[in-house]
């Protein structure tokens, strides 16, 4: 018995989902790798930065439950696009010094990124 072949659209969709997942989940672990640099840049303790990382994770966990509920109520495609934009736009902004001039702005962007990850 042969496996069904994937259409171009199926392969394209799978590729987009792969890239989306890679970008969202790569961002999940990056903070731990650069804690000393962040501590120097913002003059923040590693405890403070750990709390920011925890907020990122906890917000993402809570939001995943909410978005799980919404998948039964609204268009999944529209919800996916919304969530990816919600997570990736702040993620990209985190890498631009203009948007992360203070520890507070960095914290807000990390929490918004956590929303998208959830």
Domain of 84, in residue numbers: 35-117
According to the model, what pLDDT value does residue 49 have?
Answer: 84
Residue 38 CA, chain-centre distance (Å), reads 19
113, 86 in Cβ contact below 8 A? no
* Angle (CA) 98 111 65, round 5°: 150
Report the domain count for the chain: 1
According to the model, what pLDDT value does residue 1 have?
Answer: 63
List, for residues 13-49, the tens digit of each pLDDT value: 889 888 877 877 777 777 778 888 888 888 888 888 8
Task: Tell me whether residue 47 is in a domain.
Answer: yes
In sequence order, the 6+-apart residues with CB closer than 8 A to the CB of 109 are 90, 91, 93, 94, 99, 100
Structure-token pair, residue 14? 């799978």
Per DSSP, 118 falls in state -
Claim: this prediction has a pTM higher than 0.85: no
In sequence order, the 6+-apart residues with CB closer than 8 A to the CB of 66 are 118
Task: Tell me whether residue 15 is in a domain.
Answer: no
According to the model, what pLDDT value does residue 8 have?
Answer: 92
Task: Tell me whether residue 17 is in a domain.
Answer: no
Give the H or E element holding residue 70: helix 46-70
Task: Tell me whether residue 98 is in a domain.
Answer: yes
Task: Tell me whether residue 57 is in a domain.
Answer: yes
Locus of tokens 């268009």:
75
Task: Tell me whether residue 3 is in a domain.
Answer: no
List, for residues 63-103, the tens digit of each pLDDT value: 888 888 888 899 888 888 888 788 788 888 888 888 888 88
Task: Tell me whether residue 50 is in a domain.
Answer: yes
Task: Tell me whether residue 24 is in a domain.
Answer: no
List, for residues 106-115, the tens digit of each pLDDT value: 888 888 888 7
């Amino acid at each position: 018995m042969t496996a069904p072949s994937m259409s171009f659209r199926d392969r394209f969709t799978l590729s987009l989902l792969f890239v989306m997942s890679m970008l969202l989940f790569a961002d999940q672990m990056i903070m731990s790798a650069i804690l000393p640099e962040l501590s120097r840049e913002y003059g923040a303790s590693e405890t403070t930065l750990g709390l920011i990382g925890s907020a990122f994770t906890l917000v993402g966990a809570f939001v995943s439950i909410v978005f799980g509920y919404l998948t039964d109520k609204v268009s999944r495609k529209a919800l996916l696009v919304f969530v990816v934009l919600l997570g990736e736009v702040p993620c990209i902004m985190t890498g631009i010094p203009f948007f992360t001039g203070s520890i507070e702005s960095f914290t807000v962007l990390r929490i918004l990124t956590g929303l998208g990850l959830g």
